[in-house]
């Protein structure tokens, strides 16, 4: 994990979460903006996967449990996919709210991953 990149991801995921929850509660169905926000979160997560693979070889190994880290990361990658799939199948305001909640979930997972990588000691 690279701290500044993690912080950017958390900011983007939280902003996407907040945006989607508010827009959803206002009654809007999933749109290019709300789905796009989650797609951006997903894109950053894919970059995160690449970073996580390379980092240990570049002198940035995790201090914490690698298995736990990867379970979090794989789960996080699956979350926007599940959410967007749901949103496209079920185009209601609640799907938008769900996209938002999933954005927050990803933000929390990213924070946990950062802790596992840099603070937790196995």
Contact residues for other proteins, defined by CB under 8 A:
27, 29, 65, 67-68, 71-72, 75, 78-79, 82-83, 86, 90-95, 97-98, 101-102, 105, 108
Smallest gap, in angstroms, from Cβ of residue 105 to other proteins? 5
If DSSP codes are grouped into helix, strand and coil, which group holds residue 61? coil
Q: Measured between alpha carbons, how far is residue 30 from residues 23, 38, 87, 92 in Å?
A: 9, 11, 6, 7
Write down the least CB distance from residue 65 to other proteins, Å: 7
Radius of gyration of the chain (CA): 15
**Least distance in angstroms from the C-beta of 33 to other proteins:** 17
DSSP state of 29: P
**CB nearer to other proteins: pick between 15 and 101:** 101
């Amino acid at each position: 994990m690279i701290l500044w990149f993690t912080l950017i991801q958390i900011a983007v995921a939280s902003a996407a979460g907040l945006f989607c929850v508010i827009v959803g509660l206002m009654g809007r169905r999933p749109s290019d903006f709300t789905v796009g926000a989650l797609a951006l979160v997903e894109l950053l997560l894919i970059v995160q996967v690449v970073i996580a693979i390379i980092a240990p070889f570049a002198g940035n190994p995790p201090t914490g449990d690698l298995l736990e880290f990867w379970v979090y990361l794989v789960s996080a990658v699956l979350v926007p996919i599940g959410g967007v799939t749901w949103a496209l199948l079920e185009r209601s305001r609640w799907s938008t709210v769900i996209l938002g909640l999933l954005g927050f979930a990803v933000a929390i997972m990213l924070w946990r991953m950062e802790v596992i990588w840099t603070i937790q000691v196995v």
